[in-house]
Structures are given as C-alpha cells and as structure tokens.
Amino acid sequence: MKAITLVRIPLRRGAAALALWLFAAAAAGEAAAQALITARQNHSATRLLSGQVLVAGGFNENQSALASAELYDPASASWSATGSLTTARSAHTATLLGNGRVLVAGGANASGTALATAQLYDPATGQWNTTGSLANARYEHTATVLANGRVLVAGGRTGSGGSNTAALATAELYDPATGNWNAAGNLISPRASHTATLLPSGLVLAVAGSNVIPQSSAELYDPTINSWSAASSLSTTRVIQTATLLVSGKVLIAGGDGAILSQVYDPATATWRNVAGLALGRYNHTATLLASGRVLIVGGRRSTGTIAIAATEEYDPNSGSFAAAGDRIFKDGLQPPAS
C-alpha cells in the first residue's frame, strides 16, 4: 500500500469537498501534495473547471490578513502563485460561477472590519478584477449558487467584535451577467456562521448559526418570489455546524458548537428527524458526500474546548448512525468534487 501524506489545510465549510479530494489525490497519485506557499487559515478554496484548486486570502500565523492567492495542480501535486486580491481579506466566500470565474465577496480585513467589496478571478489570465460591491459589508456569511446561476449571499456580521457582534438579516443576489447586486429580502432571524443549502426544489435552506448567541431556527429562501419564510426549528441550538445534501434530497446537519445529536431535514414533509450523535462532539469540521451516499466527517474542534480533532467519522443514511471512517474513504473511488 502506498504511503499517504495528508497536508492539513484549514478550510472553510464551502471547501469541504476539496479537503477530501486533496487527501484522496495525494494518496492515489505518485506524488504527495506539497505544502502551501504561504501558511494561512480562514481562507477560501475553490475547484476550478480545469481541476486546479484556487486558494485565496485568509490570515497568516501572525494574524495578518492576506491578499495572496495560489493554485494547486493535482497533476503535479504542487502549488504555484497566481494573481493577488486587491484587498486582503479573511472569512469571505468564494463561489465558482457558471462561466468558470470565481466570485470572492465580503470578508474582514486585518483589523477585523467587514468589507463590502467583491472581486472576480479569471483563470484564463490569473488576475482579479473588481465587480459590483455588496450593499452591506459582511463576513462569516454564506454564498449559494442558485439554479439560475445567480449567487445568494445571506447573513454574516458587519462589526469588528467577532462572535460578540450582532448578525445581519440582510441578503443579496449577485447577477454574473451584470456584475450587480440586488436585495434578496431579509432573513427572518439574523444569523452568521450558519449553513445554507440549495435543495432540489430550488429553495435554499438556512440553518442555525449565531446572533451573539447560538440559534436553533431555520428558514427557506424562495427565488421565485425573492423572500424568506420560516421552516421548522432544530431541536437544539448550534453554530459552525455542517449541512450536507444527501442523495435522497434530505439535508444532514452535523456537529456545531454545543450540539450533540445530528438532525436530518426532509423537504417533502418540512420536518426534522433526530439521528445518532457524532462519537466526538465537534465544530469547525468538514462534511463531504461520498460516492456511496455516505458522509465523511473530518477534523474540527471539540465542542468542550479548542483542541483540534484528527479523528474522522462516517454517516450512513441507511442506518442513521455514525461510525469510524477508517480507510473506507478509498472504496468510494477518487473523483473530483462537484463544487
């Protein structure tokens, strides 16, 4: 069996699939993935249409915000520098658009002040160009590509007080055709560090998060009427959890600070069902849908402290239970994530 080298790269929730892919690619390829050119965290990672991975922004070991960006080439398992953002930022979102460009929106600068600016990365030139700015500066928000290709940005924070800062209720829509942002109604409950999942119906499910204190509420965005409506609440509050769209069209909510049980949302009945809890309570982890339909839970921090977790678990939707993942990941085959 080949030796496996895992380069641990702190990734935000939107890059969960990329974390798994880099791990599997390093295991299956002839060369192990090399380290980043610049150490960073709270950055973004986006798989491009070429198969390369764009990593941008974040902050370094000295807590300084970064403007630099780099590309991972899975063929050579190596990193190379690419064009830098015009504004250093962390806790932003990075979204792959239908035209192959990457939209980076919002985030916070070195002093923790929220940003309203947005930029587009063009893989053909390796350069960034400014695009329309958000109406509200924000970080720790979500960005979801809708069926019509527009990007829904929701919630987040705008102050510099971190988790003690009140969350935003505003939401905005980015139109790649015009580069403009338009209002997308207001969330019923302000929230940051939440999850947002595009359902097969085209609705977007926003779940939990924090507004100074953790939330348990959930709501749905309907792009056909550009408004939000209440959904059934979770049985417990949670923040920095993961949300994974299962093959069945249901959504698995796992982990989160202060949460033990996991829950599954069924769009057909608009209800939540409690399922088994993780063996290790964790938040700031990743959750990736495997080809088998199982969900791989990786890393994070313990809900009772700040100790990083190396253990992995796998959720089986058929039994509704979690088990140690082991090396079963490789039985699911190596295929690049869809987003």
Sheet with 321-324: list strands edge to edge. Answer: 286-289, 295-298, 312-316, 321-324
CA atoms within 13 A of residue 224's CA, in its CB half-sphere = 3
Q: Return the closest-CA partner of residue 191 out of 221, 150, 226, 147.
A: 221
Tokens of 35: 């380290």
- Decide which of 177 and 327 is more confident: 177
Comparing 19-33, 100-114, 201-215, 216-230, the range with the smallest average pLDDT is: 19-33
Determine the distance from the C-alpha atom of residue 324 to the mean position of all C-alpha atoms in its chain, rounded to a whole number: 23
The 3 state secondary structure assigned to 162-185 is HHHCCECCEEEEEECCCCEEEEEE
Residue 270, helix vs strand vs coil? coil
Q: How many angstroms from the chain centroid is the CA of residue 285?
A: 10
CB atoms within 10 A of CB 314: 20
Report d(CA 262, CA 294) in Å as an integer: 14
Q: Are 291 and 246 in contact (CB under 8 A)?
A: no
Asked if residue 129 has pLDDT above 90, the reply is yes
Q: CB of 187 within 8 A of CB of 226?
A: no
Separation CA 302–CA 214 (nearest Å):
16
Closest CA to 230 of 202, 201, 207: 207
Q: Is residue 107 over pLDDT 80?
A: yes
Output the CA torsion 335→104→88→207 (10° steps). Answer: -80
Question: What are the structure tokens assigned to 224, written together?
Answer: 């056909």
Contacts of 198 (CB under 8 A, 6+ apart): 144, 145, 146, 147, 204, 245
Two tokens at 269?
A: 């009945």
The C-alpha atoms of residue 70 and residue 54 are separated, in whole angstroms, by 6
Share of the chain above pLDDT 90, in %: 65
Q: Does the structure show a pLDDT above 80 at 329?
A: no
Calculate mean pLDDT across residues 220-230.
98
The model's pTM is: 0.86
Question: What is the DSSP annotation of 16-38?
Answer: HHHHHHHHHHHHHSSSPPPPPSS
Residue with more model confidence, 195 or 75: 195
Dump pLDDT digits (tens) for 170-205.
999 999 999 999 999 999 999 999 999 999 999 999
Q: What is the pLDDT of residues 27-56, one digit of tens each?
A: 444 456 678 899 888 899 899 999 999 999
89 contacts 65 by C-beta, under 8 angstroms:
yes
Residue 326 has a pLDDT of 59
pLDDT confidence of residue 159: 79
**What would the mean pLDDT of 260-268 be, rounded to a whole number?**
94
Residue 309: per-residue pLDDT: 81
Q: Assess contact for 142 and 160: CB atoms under 8 A.
A: no
pLDDT(163) > 80: no
Q: Is residue 165's pLDDT more than 50? A: yes
Q: Partners of 254 in the beta sheet?
A: 242
Which range scores top for mean pLDDT: 1-10, 167-176, 255-264?
A: 167-176
The DSSP symbol for 186 reads E
Residue carrying structure tokens 């507004």: 211
DSSP 289-320: E-TTS-EEEE--EETTSS-B---EEEEETTTT
CA nearest neighbour of 58 among 92, 83, 28, 19? 92
Q: Mean pLDDT throughout 298-303?
A: 83
